[in-house]
């Protein structure tokens, strides 16, 4: 399964991506995370991206497209991936279409998390507080000033993607203001409706245990099939019995009717003073 999560900063893309990773056993490809790692490692890409990211602007398209293309080729992405924070511009979306086509891969869905802008600042503030609590380093771009800039760049450069994917019939919009697990359920329902996931996809443990589960399910369905077959055989037997009984009953009834008719006719014949004896008539009629 290959999906894109689309939404402004603070819409819950990262949180949902992690939950979907656990549920479906696929990988999360977050360009923001990859760029932060590159900055921390001081790679050439990191050095290029550092200042741009700190200011809340977007890193050049060719840089992120290159990162994503390489990442998709990694073995752990073969099972599927969730793109979080990519694409962020129409040229990036076009480049993604091209590279997926080149790699013979299909995009299953684009999930847009729609949220009230007024909630975004407080969400990012909560994220910062939680990161501090966990003793994690707080992102340099998680400040009210930079967030305003990131939101502006989302509106002008990323929002056009809603139209882009809607035109291509890939877009599904989910209310991102719901509770976290409700959003996850809504995404799951949407993926089910699109046929991107199988009906019984639960937690990661379930994904890991899939072969065992499948075998169990296979055994179960085999048992069921045997039961059904036995039932069918039983009912066939019953039908046979019923049919036999019915035939017997019909035969009996026929015999009775024949006897009655014979008796009646014999009586009549006797009354009329026929030459033929009643016994002869009885035999003839009974034969009929
Ligand atoms: P994020 O973690 O997705 O909020 O991204 C953090 C920062 O990384 C953004 O503000 C950008 O500067 C940069 N970035 C992440 N993804 C992209 C992208 N697809 N295109 C350009 N810049 C990106």
Residue 120, domain CATH: 3.40.50.300
Neighbours of 191 (CB within 10 A): 22
Active site annotation includes 169: no
Same domain, 148 and 230: no
Considering 202, 233, 248, which residue would you say is the last residue of a domain? Answer: 202
Same domain, 169 and 222: no
Residue 180 neighbours by CB under 8 Å, 6+ apart:
12, 15, 16, 19
Same domain, 189 and 224: no
Q: Whose CA is nearest to atom 10 of ligand 1?
A: 56
Q: Whose CA is nearest to atom 12 of ligand 1?
A: 53
The number of distinct structural domains making up the chain is 2
Question: Which residue in the block uniquely carries the two structure tokens 């479906």?
Answer: 24
CA-CA distance, 97 to 103, in Å (whole number)?
10
Decide if 228 is inside a domain. yes
Report whether 19 contacts 184 (CB < 8 A). Answer: yes
Q: Which of 88, 110, 160 has most ligand 1 atoms within 8 Å of its beta carbon, as the pocket-test mutant?
A: 88
Residues with CB under 6 A from ligand 1: 9, 31-32, 35, 52-53, 56-59, 64, 85-86, 88, 92, 141, 150
**263 C-alpha to ligand 1 centroid (Å):** 105
Active site annotation includes 139: yes
Decide if 66 is inside a domain. no
pTM: 0.70
Residue list for the binding site for ATP: 10-15, 134, 178
Decide if 32 is inside a domain. no
One pLDDT digit (tens) per residue for the chain, 288 residues: 999 999 999 999 999 999 999 999 999 999 999 999 999 999 999 999 999 999 999 999 999 999 999 999 999 999 999 999 999 999 999 999 999 999 999 999 999 999 998 888 888 888 889 989 999 988 888 888 899 999 999 999 999 999 999 999 999 999 999 999 999 999 999 999 998 888 875 544 444 434 444 444 444 444 444 454 455 445 444 444 444 454 454 445 445 544 554 455 444 444 444 433 333 434 444 444
Decide if 168 is inside a domain. yes
Same domain, 193 and 243: no
Residue 192 neighbours by CB under 8 Å, 6+ apart:
199
Decide if 125 is inside a domain. yes
Which atom, in ligand 1's list, is nearest to the CA of 141?
10
* Residue range of the domain that includes 271: 216-281
């Amino acid at each position: 399964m290959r999906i894109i999560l689309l939404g402004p900063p603070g819409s819950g893309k990262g949180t949902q991506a992690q939950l979907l990773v656990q549920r479906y056993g696929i990988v999360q490809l977050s360009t923001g995370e990859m760029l932060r790692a590159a900055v921390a490692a001081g790679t050439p890409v990191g050095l290029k991206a550092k200042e741009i990211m700190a200011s809340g602007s977007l890193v050049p398209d060719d840089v992120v497209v290159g990162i994503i293309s390489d990442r998709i080729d990694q073995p752990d992405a073969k099972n599927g991936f969730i793109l979080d924070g990519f694409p962020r511009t129409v040229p990036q979306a076009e480049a993604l279409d091209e590279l997926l086509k080149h790699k013979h891969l299909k995009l299953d869905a684009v999930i847009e998390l729609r949220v009230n802008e007024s909630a975004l600042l407080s969400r990012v503030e909560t994220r910062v507080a939680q990161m501090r609590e966990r003793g994690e380093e707080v992102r340099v771009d998680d400040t009210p000033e930079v967030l305003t800039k990131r939101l502006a760049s989302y509106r002008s450069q990323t929002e056009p993607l809603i139209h882009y994917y809607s035109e291509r019939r890939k877009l599904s919009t989910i209310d991102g203001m719901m509770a976290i697990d409700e959003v996850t359920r809504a995404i799951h329902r949407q993926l089910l409706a699109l046929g991107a996931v199988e009906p019984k996809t639960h937690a990661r443990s379930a994904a890991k245990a899939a072969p065992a589960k499948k075998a169990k399910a296979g055994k179960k369905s085999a048992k069921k099939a045997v039961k059904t077959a036995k039932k069918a055989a039983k009912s066939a037997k019953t039908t046979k019995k019923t049919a036999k009984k019915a035939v017997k009953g019909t035969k009996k009834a026929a015999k009775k009717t024949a006897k009655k008719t014979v008796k009646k006719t014999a009586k009549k014949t006797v009354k009329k003073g026929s030459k033929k004896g009643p016994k002869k008539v009885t035999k003839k009629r009974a034969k009929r």
